[in-house]
Amino acid sequence: MSGSKSIEYRDASPEVRAVFDDIKTTRQVDDVNNFWKHLARDPAVLRRTWESIKEVMAPGALDPLTKEMIYLAVSVSNGCGYCIASHTAAARKAGMTDAMFGEVMAVTGMANETNRLANGYRVPIDPAFDR
Amino acid sequence: MSGSKSIEYRDASPEVRAVFDDIKTTRQVDDVNNFWKHLARDPAVLRRTWESIKEVMAPGALDPLTKEMIYLAVSVSNGCGYCIASHTAAARKAGMTDAMFGEVMAVTGMANETNRLANGYRVPIDPAFDR
Amino acid sequence: MSGSKSIEYRDASPEVRAVFDDIKTTRQVDDVNNFWKHLARDPAVLRRTWESIKEVMAPGALDPLTKEMIYLAVSVSNGCGYCIASHTAAARKAGMTDAMFGEVMAVTGMANETNRLANGYRVPIDPAFDR
Amino acid sequence: MSGSKSIEYRDASPEVRAVFDDIKTTRQVDDVNNFWKHLARDPAVLRRTWESIKEVMAPGALDPLTKEMIYLAVSVSNGCGYCIASHTAAARKAGMTDAMFGEVMAVTGMANETNRLANGYRVPIDPAFDR
Amino acid sequence: MSGSKSIEYRDASPEVRAVFDDIKTTRQVDDVNNFWKHLARDPAVLRRTWESIKEVMAPGALDPLTKEMIYLAVSVSNGCGYCIASHTAAARKAGMTDAMFGEVMAVTGMANETNRLANGYRVPIDPAFDR
Amino acid sequence: MSGSKSIEYRDASPEVRAVFDDIKTTRQVDDVNNFWKHLARDPAVLRRTWESIKEVMAPGALDPLTKEMIYLAVSVSNGCGYCIASHTAAARKAGMTDAMFGEVMAVTGMANETNRLANGYRVPIDPAFDR
């Protein structure tokens, strides 16, 4: 088995095709990304992941661009190469400008730095935070 | 030496007091958080960290609330207890509602899940992402 | 010096060859993986790592397949590309089926998601867990 | 707002009560853990997380004990205090002995060590892994 | 079983006592830290971990203080509360001054920040690094 | 937009050129690394990051080689491929020998292992650490 095996629409089971079709309709795209073609190796994982993503990323109290930038910030923090590439593309499509990208990176970088400073200096939580 | 040692304004050097004063003026607060009182053990770290934070968190292409929610998402992802408490409080102060908090958590959770699915399925980057 | 330098059996010192021989005998393979050829740059690290791995991965209260799936889940969680590839291969060799792989990924993904939800919601530990 | 706010059954909405009831029935417990009482602050997050967990942790190609040990290994690797406590308890309930616990820890520890050795030595993936 | 169970010298098996004795002799201390008392629940994990630590932390090409500061930097980066406390104490004992502590924190913080900037900007490796 | 876009000196704005010039003078190199050419997409991030790095990595209570080895250990722990390559090169230039590299890796590996053992065994902090 290849380390990286994807399933194309033409080779997919009806269950997988139904998910692919829903992704294409919801996102108005001609084909699904490699992420979905790989998850398709396990139809239950594919379906559950798509249903959750679809619900979580829909407009709500936060707009889609804000959600994509948060997704990008977490992916950058975790160092997931595929996710950084895919969510940079998705955030750009949702309206992220060069200036916004620079600020998402700056905030993500600072958060990673100060998270460690707080760890290392063993800072106790201020009582005021819970008021 | 205590594992967690902070420096209060009354005991601070002029260099540290200048930073504390700037934090209080910029944020319009009566006292600085424990984070700054602990960093004050090393005045150079205190000054540099504050100057960077002040610049990075100022309104720009992104508004302060969006920046605080990104900061929170990264802190949650890294599991920094102090930072989660302080940036939840800061985001609330900047206008984060209960519904927004729930969506920040949901996006952060999904990103952490799909980052690992992309890792585990060894998904190659779609050429379209770089177009 | 190359960023990635390995030592082949023919160029190895007697100390390194002894470890390579033990790996080949224990695992019944013709050659050792790149991981060991790179660690061989520091014979003490090579020997100590192999001795620990040999002891930890031997059958015990847990069977080798379960151990390999745990190893894979941690490697996926940490995003170590080499380790994901090598322990996917090792788990397959130990009997991991496609269905098992899908479930390891699903559990690893959910754990990463709920770890962050527990962090973000700042959930206190239930007293019952320690009973 | 408290940093850590939970919702008890008596104060819960019908939507939240339905999830709590399903957790209690599925797991045959008298009350739900703090994790669910906190997620209940956002009923959509609560429902979606429970439905995914219920599906993922059900017996399948892997038995529940193996799944709980993988969940524990990932939680230990990520350093989530709540999750370590809750999944240690869950794994014990599913049959994890002291000896199994020791081996899960040993494998998790070794995986974290060798993940970094593979990173640091910049080991290239063996072609054989993808065959 | 308690979530946190330790084994004291008086209750330890001969195998565990032998490790405790070696730790006390090597480090010239009257009692071992909680870390070792907890690992003692699994004598094989205790022995293997101590033997590796003893070998790795012995003076070599790097002096013990440098090794302790690296250990501290990694523990801060990973957010391990126990390890931050124990290795701050160990580094102080080995000679780490307040100024050195501040610089270890500063470097650790910057590394965590720039690691994410390199991830997010998707910076390709310079060919010169491998020359 | 390409996923990875850098700015060369000839195409840079005066603000970016000033930072590039300072890097080249400070480090006595003919050209800046890809890291800086990519950060140059956001001149404010470039300038702030360089000023912080310049200050943090200057000789102080710790010498430059010790700082580079700590930087490398953190980068290895975080799994940042670019940073591992660049800081291995920087540490070598500052005097890191093969033996030192092996020991940095060994300490980093052990710290990552024992961080998880401390998490998993839920070891409470020794009161003596804070004395």
Q: What is the pLDDT of residues C61-101, one digit of tens each?
A: 999 999 999 999 999 999 999 999 999 999 999 999 999 99
Q: Measured between beta carbons, which residues in chain C are less than 8 angstroms from residue A49? A: 109
Chain centroid offset of residue F97 CA: 18
Q: How far is F8 from chain C (nearest CA, A)?
A: 25
**Domain co-membership, E75 together with E116:** yes
Per-residue model confidence as pLDDT tens digits over C6-47: 999 999 999 999 999 999 999 999 999 999 999 999 999 999
Q: Are F14 and E94 in contact (CB under 8 A)?
A: no
For residues C85 and C72, what is the distance between their CA atoms, to the nearest angstrom?
Answer: 9
Residues A129 and B93: beta-carbon distance below 8 Å: no
SS (H, E, C) B63-74: CHHHHHHHHHHH
Structural contact between residues E89 and F129, judged by C-beta atoms closer than 8 angstroms: yes
A2 pLDDT tier (thresholds 50, 70, 90): very low
Residues D40-63: pLDDT tens digits?
999 999 999 999 999 999 999 999
Residue D32: predicted pLDDT: 97
> What average pLDDT does the segment C107-124 reach?
98
Q: Which residues of A touch C (CB under 8 A)?
A: 1, 3, 41-42, 44-45, 48-49, 78-80
Give the pTM: 0.97
pLDDT of residue B130: 83
Q: What is the average pLDDT value for chain B, to the nearest integer?
A: 95
pLDDT of residue F1: 40
Mean pLDDT of D33-44: 97
**D75 and D34 share one domain:** no
Residues 6+ apart with CB under 8 A from A63: none
Last residue of a domain, one of B58, B75, B101: B58
Q: Closest approach of chain F CAs to the CA of D120, in angstroms?
A: 5
Give the minimum alpha-carbon distance from F93 to chain E in angstroms, rounded to a whole number: 10
Say yes or no: D72 and D22 in one domain. Answer: no
Q: Which residue numbers of C have CB closer than 8 Å to E's CBs?
A: 1-4, 44, 48, 52, 55-56, 125, 129-130
Answer yes or no: do B46 and B67 share one domain: no
What is the DSSP secondary structure assignment for residue E126, as one 8-state letter?
Answer: P
State the sign of the Cα–Cα–Cα–Cα dihedral D52, A108, D74, B3.
negative
E49, E52, E111: residue with CB nearest F75: E111
pLDDT score recorded for residue D1: 40
Average pLDDT over residues B28-43: 97
- Of the candidates B24, D63, A116, the one whose C-alpha atom is nearest the C-alpha of residue E115 is A116
Average pLDDT over residues A15-24: 98
Q: What are B124's two structure tokens?
A: 């190659």
Rounded Cα gap, residues B116 and F26, in angstroms? 40
More confident residue, A17 or F3: A17
Q: State pLDDT tens for residues F40-76.
A: 999 999 999 999 999 999 999 999 999 999 999 999 9
Q: Quick one: tokens of D69?
A: 């040990």
Could you read off the pLDDT of F63-112 as tens digits, one per residue? Answer: 999 999 999 999 999 999 999 999 999 999 999 999 999 999 999 999 99
- Domain match, A76 and A100 both: yes
Tell me if D52 and A55 make a contact (CB, 8 A cut-off): no
Residues in E whose CB is inside 8 Å of some CB of A read: 72, 76-77, 79, 81, 84-85, 88, 104-105, 108-110, 112-117, 119-122
Rounded average pLDDT over C40-59: 97
Contacts of F23 in chain E (CB under 8 A): none
Tokens standing for residue C128: 């019952």
> Do B49 and B65 share a domain, yes or no?
no
Same domain, C36 and C100: no
Q: Indicate if A87 and A48 belong to the same structural domain.
A: no
pLDDT for residue A4? 67
Per the structure, the count of domains in chain C is 2
Residues B32 and B68 in one domain: no
The closest of B65, D105, D82 to C130, measured between CA atoms, is D82
Tell me: pLDDT of B3 over 60.
Answer: no
CB F79 within 8 A of CB D115: yes
CB pairs under 8 A between B and D: 22
Cα gap F90→F65, rounded to integer Å: 9
Both ends of chain E: CA-CA distance in Å?
55
Domain membership flag for residue D19: yes
CATH code for the domain of B23: 1.20.1290.10
Task: Let me know if residue D128 belongs to a domain.
Answer: no
Give the mean model confidence (pLDDT) for residues B47-59: 97
Contact B42 E99 (CB under 8 A): yes
Most C CBs within 10 Å, among E6, E42, E46, E55, to test the C interface: E55
Both tokens assigned to A22: 């829903």
Answer left, alpha or beta for residue D42, where phi above 0 means left and psi between -120 and 50 means alpha: beta
Percent of chain A with pLDDT over 70: 97
pLDDT at C83: 98
Q: Look at E41 and D102 and tell me if their CB atoms are within 8 Å.
A: yes
Choose among C2, C52, C125: nearest Cβ to E48: C52
Q: State whether C79 and B115 contact (CB < 8 Å).
A: yes
Instruction: Tell me which of A86, A97, A98, A110 to substitute to probe the interface with F (most F C-beta atoms closer than 10 Å).
Output: A98
Coil, strand or helix at A55: helix
D129 belongs to a structural domain: no
pLDDT at residue A131, rounded to an integer = 72
C81-93 and D98-120 are packed helices; what angle lies between their axes, rounded to 10 degrees?
A: 130
Question: What residues in chain E have per-residue pLDDT under 50?
Answer: 1-2
Q: Considering B36, B58, B80, which residue would you say is the last residue of a domain?
A: B58
Using alpha carbons only, give the angle E49, E90, F55 rounded to the nearest 5 degrees.
Answer: 115
Which amino acid is it at C128?
A
Specify the residue for token string 């065959």.
Answer: D131
Using CB atoms within 10 Å of the CB of residue B61, give its burial: 0 to 12 exposed, 13 to 18 middle, 19+ buried.
Answer: middle
Q: Do F42 and A85 make contact, defined as CB atoms within 8 angstroms?
A: no
Same domain, F50 and F73: no
The verdict on a CB contact (< 8 Å) between D103 and C35 is: no
**Which residue range(s) make up the domain with F106?**
60-131
Q: What is the reported pLDDT for B131?
A: 72
> Looking at CA atoms only, how far is residue D44 from chain E in angstroms?
30
Listed residues A35, A58, A81: the one ending a domain: A58
Tell if the CB–CB gap between E45 and D101 is shorter than 8 Å.
no
Minimum Cα–Cα distance from F2: chain B residue = B130
Is the CB of E3 less than 8 angstroms away from the CB of C129? Answer: yes
Helix, strand or coil, per DSSP, at residue C117: helix
Are residues B127 and B73 located together in one domain of the fold? yes
Chain F hits for E81, Cβ within 8 Å: 125
Residues of F in contact with A77 (CB under 8 A): none
Query: CA nearest A110 in E: which residue?
Result: E113
Task: Give the pLDDT of residue C1.
Answer: 40
**What is chain A's length?**
131
Taken in order E12, E18, E22, E24, the sign of the CA dihedral is: positive
User: Tokens 């590394």 appear where?
Assistant: E111
Structure tokens at A124: 């106790």
Report the alpha-carbon distance of residue E62 to residue E39 in Å, rounded: 27
ipTM, two decimals: 0.96
Q: Which residues from chain D sit within 8 angstroms of residue C97, using beta carbons?
A: 61
Are D22 and D52 part of one and the same domain? Answer: yes
3-state helix, strand, coil in chain F (%, to 5): 70, 0, 30
Q: What is the mean pLDDT of residues F18-36?
A: 97
Checking if the pLDDT of D2 tops 50, the result is no
Say which of F71, F111, F117 has its CB closest to residue E71.
Answer: F111
What pLDDT, in 10s, does the model give residues A67-104? 999 999 999 999 999 999 999 999 999 999 999 999 99
Q: Looking at chain A, which residue has its C-alpha nearest residue D1?
A: A131
The closest alpha carbon to A112, from E101, B88, B73, belongs to B73
User: What is the model's pLDDT at position B4?
Assistant: 67
Radius of gyration of chain A (CA): 19
pLDDT for residue D7 is more than 50: yes
